[in-house]
Amino acid sequence: MTPPPPVAATLIALLEAKQDDVIRRWRQRVNDDPLVPESERLSKPMLTDHIPEVLAHVRHGLQHQEDESFVDGQAAGTRIGRQRATKEHARLRFEQGYSIHAAMRELSQLRTTILELGTAEGVAISGEAALLLHTAIDEAMAPTAVQMARQEQELLKAIVEQTGEGIVVADEHGIIQLFNPAAERQHGIGLKGVPPAEWAETYGLLAPDGSKLPLEATPLYRAIHGEFLVNAPYHLRRADGAIRQFMTTATPLVRPDGTSAGAVLMIRDETERLLQEEALARAVQFRDLFIGILGHDLRNPLTAIIAFAGMMLERKNPDDAAYRTAAGAAFARITGGADRMNRMIQDTLDFTRGQLGSPMPTEMAPADLAAVCRVAVTELEAAHPERSISLSVTGDTGGIWHHDRLIQVVSNLIGNALSYSPADSPVTVTLQDLGPTVTLAVNNRGDAIPAGDMARLFDPFKRAQEANEGIIRKGLGLGLFICKSIVEAHGGQITVSSNPGDGTTFTVALPRHGGLADPPAQAS
């Protein structure tokens, strides 16, 4: 074995003799260094745990760095051992939360400490000695930096691959560079290298209103152009047709010189949460409205019944003409209030069944839709003697239906037409025989329904906006919803058209056999 150069031997002897002093001085410098704040969290043993091994690494470096013959012999094994010590030091510092910069700064302070100690002990570390020391320290720092960089990379890779949130990265040109597994699951596809112009088509991107998402509105594209977005929504239609709703955070990526390096998009799938919130909101609305119905709308008719019954009981002489007049009016109010209460109870029961998933009760039997309409028209003409209701019938209007349910449909549609049209305008009811189906059309000449209300017209508790101020609408807003449920239970369809020229027309198309799978054979 070739002995180390004299300057190296002097340094080695100094480091061996003063190792405890070196560690003490080094610990003080590190604790005082504002660029190594991580050291403040560590106890003395944790901070200095691997420093003796690092110093041994430096001494071995001074011993062997000029001895080429040792590369293939004993020194090679010694070098591997030294690297193992510095890698272990790097692993420890990484687990303790050190950044690479802080770990390198810490080892740089070891270099300064040795130089300080040499000066204090009268050992001149300059020229060849300084070069040997710097080389030995650098050899200790290099494996540490490489190991910590590898650990950081492995940790980042694990986070990207195992996080539940989607992560998409694009370069400054918008080319997709990264699609982590969560993003692949969210989108149902994981292509990379897709240019911005093809994003919407490739990934099925949609705006919240269901339209194709414009490129300039895409969160990732906006971030590439410098915007920082939080809770930016977009929807997506997967290849299987499912619509997913996402909330995103989009962040620009910037190089040290300030130029764009692209952007990163963090994606949360909010579909289930939003569906649960909608279901909860509907449940709360239903609960509140149901309580309101029981507490107010059903109580008022009963109050009228009780009040007018009390008036009748207070009369002394039942043969008095004034009494008979008052009694007749009271009976009319009692009957009207009771009928209204009964309709509201029935509507509430029908709606509740629908909300609980029960089918609309229908008992199919031979029925004539014209006869059904005549019953409904007669009842409503009696209730609204000032209004004009006309009925037109063409062809055979018989079929297999639920008679009472169809009266409910016709009465609701005519009542709705009366409520939403001027008092001096007619309501027309038209029946037509179209072979396998019979159509019912109810038209009123009121103001056209606003376009924004058309899509929600058959939703429960919804009404079109009032065109005529001061008109009080009675009921719960369930009529059209229940009409639709009854018609669909018969296998039919209900549609609406509305415009200023023709007014509003609700059209019901009923299969002649009520949607029965096996309709009765026609008589020949």
* Residues 292, 264 share a domain: no
> Is 303 exposed, middle or buried, given 0-12, 13-18 or 19+ CB atoms closer than 10 A?
exposed
Q: What's the pLDDT score for residue 74? A: 41
* Residues 315, 241 share a domain: no
Percent of the chain exceeding pLDDT 90 equals 20
Tokens for 477?
């807003």
Strands 398-401 and 229-237, by their bridges, are: unpaired
Q: What's the pLDDT score for residue 467? A: 41
Q: What is the pLDDT of residues 311-353, one digit of tens each?
A: 665 655 556 677 667 666 766 667 666 666 766 676 666 666 6
Q: Which of 246, 269, 292 delimits the end of a domain?
A: 269
Task: Pick the more confident residue, 487 or 104.
Answer: 487
1 falls within a domain: no
73/56 Cα distance (integer angstroms)? 19
The CATH number for 349's domain is 1.10.287.130
Domain containing residue 68: 6-162
The CATH number for 231's domain is 3.30.450.20
* Residues 157, 10 share a domain: yes
148 falls within a domain: yes
* Residues 183, 133 share a domain: no
Q: Among 251-265, 338-352, 354-368, which stretch is predicted with the lowest mean pLDDT?
A: 338-352
Residue of 506, 509, 501, 407 whose CA lies nearest to 458: 506
* Residues 397, 339 share a domain: no
The CATH number for 475's domain is 3.30.565.10
pLDDT at 477 over 80: no
Whether residue 263 contacts residue 252, with contact meaning beta carbons closer than 8 Å, is answered with yes
Q: What's the pLDDT score for residue 506? A: 96
pLDDT at 519 over 60: no
Whether residue 415 contacts residue 482, with contact meaning beta carbons closer than 8 Å, is answered with no
Task: Pick the more confident residue, 61 or 431.
Answer: 431
Helix, strand or coil, per DSSP, at residue 502: coil
pLDDT at 405 over 90: no
Q: What is the pLDDT of residues 179-233, one digit of tens each?
A: 888 888 888 777 777 888 888 888 888 888 888 889 998 899 999 999 999 988 8
Q: What's the pLDDT score for residue 121? A: 82
pLDDT at 47 over 80: no
Q: What is the pLDDT of residues 88-101, one digit of tens each?
A: 777 777 777 787 77
219 falls within a domain: yes
Read off the pLDDT of each residue in 501-512 and give the average, rounded to a whole number.
94
519 falls within a domain: no
331 falls within a domain: yes
437 falls within a domain: yes
228 falls within a domain: yes
- In 52-203, at which residue ranges do the beta strands (DSSP E only) sit? 166-170, 176-179
pLDDT at 45 over 90: no
The CATH number for 12's domain is 1.10.490
Tell me the residue length of the chain: 524
Report the chain's C-alpha Rg in angstroms.
43
520 falls within a domain: no
How many domains are contained in the chain? 4
* Residues 496, 370 share a domain: yes
* Residues 313, 369 share a domain: no
Indicate the pLDDT class of residue 107, thresholds 50, 70 and 90.
confident
* Residues 179, 77 share a domain: no
Q: Among 1-10, 15-24, 490-499, which stretch is predicted with the lowest mean pLDDT?
A: 1-10
Torsion angle defined by CA atoms of residues 356, 357, 358 and 360, in that order, rounded to the nearest 10 degrees? 110
- Residue 352 identity (one-letter amino acid): T
Whether residue 263 contacts residue 220, with contact meaning beta carbons closer than 8 Å, is answered with yes
269/247 Cα distance (integer angstroms)? 7
* Residues 196, 210 share a domain: yes
pLDDT at 484 over 80: yes
* Residues 208, 116 share a domain: no
Mean pLDDT of the chain: 78
* Residues 327, 221 share a domain: no
* Residues 197, 295 share a domain: no
Q: Which of 113, 136, 162 delimits the end of a domain?
A: 162
Strands 205-206 and 176-179, by their bridges, are: unpaired
Q: What's the pLDDT score for residue 487? A: 93
Q: Among 107-111, 134-138, 178-182, which stretch is predicted with the lowest mean pLDDT?
A: 134-138
Q: What is the pLDDT of residues 367-390, one digit of tens each?
A: 999 999 998 898 888 878 899 999
Q: Which of 269, 294, 327 delimits the end of a domain?
A: 269
Q: What's the pLDDT score for residue 68? A: 41
- Contacts of 163-166 spanning 24+ positions with Cβ under 8 A: 165/266, 165/267, 165/268, 166/246, 166/265, 166/266, 166/267, 166/268, 166/269
Q: Which strands sit side by side in the sheet containing 503-511, from one edge to the other?
A: 389-394, 427-434, 437-444, 503-511, 493-499
Q: Please name the helix (run of DSSP H) or strand (run of DSSP E) that holds residue 23, with its range, or none.
A: helix 19-32
